[in-house]
Amino acid sequence: MAFSYLSLQSFVRPPRLLVLAPEGEDWVAMSAAALGAVGKVWGGCASAVVPVSAASHAALAPFLSRYQPDHILEYQPTWTTVDLIHPGILERELRGLNLDEQSFSFNKELLASDTWHGHADGAALRAAAERLRAAHGGNSFDRSQPWPFHLADDPDESGFTALKDVASQPTGGVPIGQIHTPAALSAAARLGVLLTAACDEAQGPKSEADWLARVTGTPWNADDTASPFDAAAALCTRIHRGYDTDRSSDLVVLGDRPEDFALAQLARQVYGATRWLPGGALAWHHLPLSPRPEPVTVASASLSEEEIRAHLTDRWNTRGIRVHGADTMPVTIVSPSELWPTGRDQVALLNAWDVPLSLPMEETSDGSLVSAVRMPIQVPAPLDAARHRWQVGMISTGHPVPPLSDLFGPRLVAAGDERETFVRAADGGITYASNRVDFVPTGASLAGSLAGPRLVWPSLERILRLTAEPDEVRPSPAGKRARVARRLLGSRAAVEALAAPASWALLSHWLPGHNRSALPADSVWQLKSGVFLTWEAIAAASGDWAQAELRARIDAWSACGLLRRGLVLGCHDCPRVEFYPIAEVAQRYTCRRCGSSNILEQPRWKPARNEPTWFYELHPAITELIDNDGNYDLLATQFLRSKAWAGACLVTEEFELVQNGKAVVEFDFAAATVEGLFLGESKKNDCLADSAKATLTELNKLLNGCRALGATHLVLATPKNAWKQATIDAIDKQLQGDAAHGASSPQVLLLTGLGTDPKILTLDGKPFTMD
């Protein structure tokens, strides 16, 4: 192993909870109760509640994949909370037992704090939670570990830190007894929910419009209390790991179904400021209109785009005050699948969200980085190591870890630390829980009671192997050639530089069959073993390169082994003429064919001049790389790595996905960023195949390969200025069909103009960015 230092950005944040709420006969009330329980937890401002019936809704898929929750929990209300929703249910339960008054009072007090299991969603709740944990890297992989699976009304019972233990001011909210409609739930999702009886329910809003006014107006709670969903109340701040921090307006979610509430909950965490505006009382002034000309973005999980447009057009036509010149409704209606949230927003502790670290690392043979020491213990104020629980995040700007669900636990820790705490990929790096869950002796020191595992930053090769299991990943023949080039030149960036038009054109002169008629006589020698060029030939083929620059480039390529300098020599006993590298040339040399000993003299060297002429041989692996149009793969990854959102992404060469011993699909390149895993296919032409049937076959191989490897994006690259419209239409139709059947698919990106004017676009022709 090679030893080095790794620069890290460390941060502390509250845990992110994805809470599944039962629905029973009243999904609004149960979702409100779950919000009330989440609001009691330090981390509620970073958490989301999803009604169980909406957990598998297609509109939520891209948001769930970006959310990266630390815990996926089933909400279990107490009888006390259910009694607030359905007054008298607790007493009715006990009256049926015919208890005397003393036993009745005793059992009432006992039952009040017990978990209520009266809803019919128990099996569905457990199944949905397990499905989400498996799909999104949740904490259910080892049930012998004491990870929380349920959220109770009391945070202490669930093993989480109570917000009141950390908050700088008291929090308030809407009494749960007042929440009966989606509009009331929308206001409660902003203001918080009190799991207590209302002092006077008559003081609550009288109409749907009054509730919506609380959603759209300035956040307000009585008695100067804060909302439990306000990051500032938890001594946290919401940060954005990117460049596009100034959105002109909130995202508006319409519809009054459970999936609309869930969409708004998740979008608030991974997309940006979001308003859920349900109900028929919606008026035009409730929309968050911007003083700038940008339109408001509106989406819904339950309403079609036509229904949204009709809904808003009616409000637009009856809006009252008209602004001169405002003739067009300033809204952009989109499908949730078109939003593609980046997940760059996160909530972190206010004074510990950007702490630089430098740790000694060991590099393994596959390029993975292993921490040589344990992570430093961090207990930032005002947290208490004995009472509080938090998440520690580690991000390396030079070695990103994509947030894939298969990267968790033992795959990200050094041997011996597997059971110390729960570790997973998140936020472009690695996160782990602060508390140790293995054996901690009584009276252990701070270092002995808090987690500080030795972490592994996996290489892209290891990431692909892990995500492919139980299948295999292996380099393709083209990938092996590219790896040889990387070994010779020292880095992927240096190999990509070969694909520059001037360098590639020069190196192409070593290809058999290349037109070299313009080169000087006797400056090229072609044998069965390859093509060999003299300096004169190289200079003539180099075009406009300055001689000094060309000389330096040839010397550099010769020094690393990309080119080999030598002589073209014959044999006095047999007719074999061969290239002999300089390391094999001496006054006497041995013929490679017959083994005869030869003297280095004029009759032996070619061409027959007074002095030997130096020739240059291109490494065979590079010759094959050029002959197979390997420049397009190199240009594609070079362009991706030049984008700010990609940063110092990890890149690997062409590989095959092997299932049951058979290669089922090849990818020309792969790139891992803090956002996800990009797999790519390069084509010389502007189509995937020559016929519609072959196009679908090729496309489905690529899509299925992406699904098997957990890829978030599929990049289709070409040197042409555009892909054929028939190819784009086929891709779009296939993706829509897959979505209709519940299949998740990577986002397909079109990279065009390789080597001239490269652009990366989405399928609808819009520029792609993750900033």
Question: Does one domain contain both 161 and 52?
Answer: yes
pLDDT at 455 (0 to 100)? 93
Q: Looking at this protein, which amino acid is placed at residue 239?
A: I
Question: Does one domain contain both 62 and 191?
Answer: yes
Question: Does one domain contain both 559 and 411?
Answer: no
pLDDT at 321 (0 to 100)? 66
For residue 312, what is the enclosing H or E element? helix 305-317
Query: Which residues form the domain of 370?
Result: 2-11+358-456
Phi then psi for residue 328, to 5 deg, are: -115, 135
pLDDT higher than threshold 70 for residue 326: no
* Residue 541 contacts residue 554 (beta carbons within 8 Å): no
What is the rounded distance in angstroms from the CA atom of residue 90 to the CA atom of residue 503? Answer: 80
Question: Does one domain contain both 36 and 183?
Answer: yes
The tokens of 111 are what? 């039952």
pTM of the model: 0.88
Whether residue 212 lies inside any domain: the answer is yes
- Mean pLDDT for the chain overall: 88
pLDDT tens column, 127-143 = 999 899 888 866 654 44
Residue among 607, 614, 613, 631 nearest 507 (CA): 631
Positive or negative, the CA dihedral 619, 625, 631, 635 is: negative
> Reduced to 3 states, what is the DSSP secondary structure of residue 584?
helix
Question: Does one domain contain both 538 and 646?
Answer: no
Tell me the average pLDDT across 201-208. 70
Q: Which residue has the tokens 């400056």?
A: 523
Phi then psi for residue 443, to 5 deg, are: 80, 15
The tokens of 563 are what? 């080119």
* Residue 692 contacts residue 648 (beta carbons within 8 Å): no
What is the rounded distance in angstroms from the CA atom of residue 68 to the CA atom of residue 146? Answer: 20
Phi then psi for residue 193, to 5 deg, are: -125, 130
Q: Decide which of 217, 233, 249 is a domain's last residue.
A: 233
What strands, in cross-sheet order, belong to the sheet with 669-672?
A: 650-652, 669-672, 677-682, 713-717, 747-752, 759-762
pLDDT at 349 (0 to 100)? 93
pLDDT tens column, 586-611 = 899 989 889 899 999 999 999 988 89
What is the rounded distance in angstroms from the CA atom of residue 286 to the CA atom of residue 52? Answer: 29
DSSP calls for 517-578 = TTSPTTSEEEETTEEEEEHHHHHHHTTT--HHHHHHHHHHHHHHTSEEEEEEE--SSS---E
Whether residue 345 lies inside any domain: the answer is no
Q: Which residues pair with 715 in a beta bridge?
A: 680, 749
pLDDT higher than threshold 80 for residue 3: no
Question: Does one domain contain both 368 and 438?
Answer: yes
* Residue 183 contacts residue 211 (beta carbons within 8 Å): yes
Whether residue 238 lies inside any domain: the answer is no
Phi then psi for residue 362, to 5 deg, are: -110, 135
Q: How large is the C-alpha radius of gyration of the chain? A: 32
pLDDT higher than threshold 50 for residue 246: no
Instruction: List Cβ neighbours of 540 (8 Å cut-off, separation of 6 or more).
Output: 518, 519, 520, 523
* Residue 364 contacts residue 372 (beta carbons within 8 Å): no
Question: Does one domain contain both 599 and 656?
Answer: no
Q: Calculate the alpha carbon distances from 220 to 198, 267, 278, 616, 667 in Å.
A: 17, 22, 20, 77, 54
Residues counted in the chain = 771
pLDDT tens column, 529-577 = 899 999 999 999 998 899 999 999 999 999 999 999 999 999 988 988 9
Question: Does one domain contain both 185 and 169?
Answer: yes
Question: Does one domain contain both 569 and 692?
Answer: no
Q: Which residues pair with 688 in a beta bridge?
A: none
Whether residue 729 lies inside any domain: the answer is yes
Number of domains in the chain: 4
Whether residue 427 lies inside any domain: the answer is yes
pLDDT at 373 (0 to 100)? 83
Looking at residue 747, which CATH number applies to its domain? 3.40.1350
pLDDT tens column, 16-49 = 999 999 987 889 999 999 999 999 999 999 999 9
Phi then psi for residue 135, to 5 deg, are: -80, -25
Whether residue 495 lies inside any domain: the answer is no
Question: Does one domain contain both 452 and 526?
Answer: no
Which pairs count as long-range contacts for 666-672, CB under 8 Å and 24+ apart, including other chains?
A: 666/476, 667/702, 667/705, 668/478, 668/632, 668/633, 668/636, 668/717, 669/633, 669/636, 669/637, 670/460, 670/464, 671/460, 671/637, 671/640, 671/641, 671/646, 672/400, 672/401, 672/402, 672/460, 672/463
pLDDT tens column, 486-534 = 999 999 999 999 999 999 999 999 999 899 999 999 899 999 889 999 9
Identify the band that residue 206 occupies on the pLDDT scale cut at 50, 70 and 90.
Answer: confident
pLDDT tens column, 705-729 = 999 999 999 999 999 999 999 999 9
Stronger pLDDT, 449 or 589, i.e. the higher one: 589
Question: Does one domain contain both 370 and 507?
Answer: no
Angle between the N-to-C axes of helices 208-216 and 182-191, in degrees from 0 to 180, rounded to the nearest 10? 30
Angle between the N-to-C axes of helices 27-39 and 182-191, in degrees from 0 to 180, rounded to the nearest 10? 0
Identify the band that residue 431 occupies on the pLDDT scale cut at 50, 70 and 90.
Answer: very high
Q: Decide which of 420, 441, 456 is a domain's last residue.
A: 456
pLDDT higher than threshold 60 for residue 243: no
pLDDT at 324 (0 to 100)? 44
pLDDT tens column, 70-127 = 999 999 999 889 888 888 888 887 877 777 777 878 887 888 888 887 777 788 898 9
Q: Looking at this protein, which amino acid is placed at residue 589?
A: Y
Q: Looking at this protein, which amino acid is placed at residue 88?
A: G
Identify the band that residue 245 occupies on the pLDDT scale cut at 50, 70 and 90.
Answer: very low
Q: Decide which of 213, 233, 253 is a domain's last residue.
A: 233
Stronger pLDDT, 321 or 150, i.e. the higher one: 150
Q: Which residues pair with 545 in a beta bridge?
A: none
Whether residue 494 lies inside any domain: the answer is no
* Residue 604 contacts residue 570 (beta carbons within 8 Å): yes
Whether residue 615 lies inside any domain: the answer is yes
The tokens of 629 are what? 């149009």
pLDDT tens column, 47-69 = 999 999 999 998 998 898 888 89
pLDDT tens column, 288-320 = 876 666 788 999 999 999 999 998 998 888 877
Question: Does one domain contain both 58 and 86?
Answer: yes
